[in-house]
Amino acid sequence: MVLALALGMLAQRLKLSPLVGYLVAGMLAAQPWWGQPVDAHVVEDFSHIGVVLLLFGVGLQFHIKDLLAVQRVAVPGALVCMLTVSLLGMVAFHYLGGDHVAWVNSLMFGLCVCVSSTVVLTRVLSDNRILQSPAGHTALGWLVVEDMFTIILLVLLPALFGGQELGPALGWMALKLTMLVVCVAYLGRKVISRILTYISRHCSDELFTLAVLVCALGIAVLSAKVFNASMEFGAFLSGMVVGQSKFASRAASDAMPMRDAFAVLFFVSVGMGFDAMGLLEHWPLALATLAICMLGKPLVAMLMVRIMGKPMRLSMLVGGSLSQIGEFSFILATLVAGTYKLLPMEAVNVITGVAIISITLNAALYRFVPRAINVLEERGMGLNPATLAAELPPTEDRHRIIMVGYGPCGELLERTLTRFDMDVVVLEMNVDTVTRLQAAGIRALHGDAANRTILRLAGCEKARAIAITASAAPSAAIAAAAHSLNPDIRVIAHTNYIRNAQTLINAGATAVFSGEAEVALAMTSHVLRNLGATEEQITRERRANRKELFDKAAAAAQKNSK
């Protein structure tokens, strides 16, 4: 755990996923330097709890509405991508995995490398501020499909390779799984919900946390011992039951730290079984597998997104985020190799090595994807004529205002400016929003506001101001691009945190509005007004407080820069 903490922090410092640090910690823990060898079996036993809690977390955060929102792209795209990557992995293992490799073993290898890491993808999208964008929602829906596929595969493995006749085994398994789902659903509605309600009202916080863990581990054991299903599937079901209840948020906040701690041991146990020399010995297979994960999977995903009629930007952001494998690949590989003996441990070693390399490269290289998109769009490539209108030059009798984002803040600002007869153009990354605005008669363009081509089409060179209403937008890059086209343009930016205000001003923003500052000022004014202060006193106090807040933020930014 100490090694995992230190190396996880080091990986984070190097802008990599902490998973890389955990895997390397396992590799170091397995070395004979420590005198007393680390008991790999104990670590593996604890890691099984991590796997169960990992699947519990997946079920807890699984919402069918998230999948339905992007089903037209995510469902067919993920299925075709998994099928293609599985076939590529199967061919690679059949011809590079050794002599006399059966196709069924090759298929298992292909299935292990066709799913991406939920942990890594979420972290990469979050670090690049894309998680809440349309590309982020599509990638998360894609992951939901992959997770469901993995869970179904975990359910089918005992019936397919349990040594029984396939037909009766599948029928009996389907019956038992149906009984399990009905049983868990009944328990969730009639028993678990009441127990959690009682504990929440009358017992201490640690008992609620314990109750959530008992639900996760208890239903997992129930599914394995009574219904002969996998513990992972039972944990996923229990997560879904708790996730659909009113205790979903509290269960997530209480149980997820425990899940993360045990999941770390899972990745450490995987690293302990990794053999670097064995990876070098099977370098042709490792190189082919890495190419499939880093090149084949993203290209297939990009092609599928484009076939679905989505713009190039969305396809590249989604495809680039999928270029790695992670926890579910480990779970499948260890199960297939350890329980059913369908893969040699050398193949598991190759999957582990490819996962370490792909996770490292994915986190390091993904930051260049938006830059590559901007370069292509600067050259006129990837702009979608269905959603990107022709150039909208400003008129002589109205002031042109460019507005970035159309959330609640953007919508209110657009309506106000329009009432004052301003010529407003909205730049928005959500294609559906652009289509809706254009149908309503509002001038809107689809594209990245940090791209000079998009800004030219919006009439930036003669615009009076650009208002960045979306706090997640890259305000500094947008301000720099806008000033390069129009040095006199006013840039008004929105940020959540006051500490970013001075940074944006240094980047060229004329005025910055911080969510933290505005809430503090509004609350102060409300309290003063209720205590009988005059409007003149409130206005004077607001000005003084605003200056104090932003002066502190500027001083902190200057200190950090030094």
Per-residue pLDDT reduced to its tens digit, 352-373: 889 888 888 887 888 888 878 8
What's the whole-number mean pLDDT along residues 222-246?
Answer: 76
Mean pLDDT value across the chain: 82
Which of 54-68, 143-157, 424-438 is predicted least confidently? Answer: 54-68
Sign of CA dihedral 68, 71, 75, 81: negative
Structure tokens at 207: 């008992």
At residue 491, the 3 state secondary structure works out as strand
Q: Say whether pLDDT at 287 is over 90.
A: yes
- Please, how many CA atoms are within 13 Å of residue 224, restricted to the half-sphere of its CB? 13
What's the whole-number mean pLDDT along residues 136-162?
Answer: 78
**β-sheet bridge partners, residue 425:** 402
List pLDDT tens digits, range 172-201.
767 777 777 777 777 777 788 788 888 888
* Residue 362, CA distances (Å) to 23, 115, 140 in order: 16, 14, 16
pLDDT band at 83 (very low <50, low <70, confident <90, very high): very high
CATH class of the 42-375 domain in this structure: mainly alpha
Sign of CA dihedral 434, 129, 140, 182: negative
Q: How far is CA 92 from the centre of its chain?
A: 29
Cβ-based neighbours of 115, under 8 Å, separated by 6 or more:
82, 146, 147, 149, 150, 325, 328, 329, 332
At residue 300, the 3 state secondary structure works out as helix
- DSSP E strands in 448-541: the ranges are 465-468, 490-495, 511-514
List pLDDT tens digits, range 291-317.
999 999 999 999 999 888 787 878 888
Supply the pLDDT for residue 296: 93
Contact at 8 Å (CB) between 300 and 374? no
What's the whole-number mean pLDDT along residues 266-294?
Answer: 87
Which of 4-13, 67-76, 409-418, 502-511 is predicted least confidently? Answer: 67-76
For every residue of 394-439, DSSP letters joined together read: PPTTS-EEEEE--SHHHHHHHHHHHHTT-EEEEEES-HHHHHHHHH
Q: Say whether pLDDT at 521 is over 90.
A: no
Supply the pLDDT for residue 62: 67
Element (H, E) at 24: helix 18-29
50-60 in b/e form (b: 16+ CB < 10 A) is bbbbbbbbbbb
Q: How many CB atoms sit inside 10 A of residue 521's CB?
A: 18
Supply the pLDDT for residue 391: 60
Domain 400-561 has CATH 3.30.70.260: no
pLDDT band at 16 (very low <50, low <70, confident <90, very high): confident
The domain spans of the chain are: 42-375, 400-561
H helical segments located in 14-70: 18-29, 40-60, 64-69
Higher pLDDT, 242 or 459: 459
Contact at 8 Å (CB) between 11 and 21? yes
Higher pLDDT, 65 or 25: 25
Report the length, in residues, of the chain.
562
- Please, how many CA atoms are within 13 Å of residue 308, restricted to the half-sphere of its CB? 20
List pLDDT tens digits, range 402-434.
999 888 888 898 999 888 888 899 998 877 788
Element (H, E) at 446: strand 444-446
pTM of the model: 0.68
List pLDDT tens digits, range 429-481.
877 788 888 888 888 888 788 888 888 888 888 899 999 988 778 888 889 88
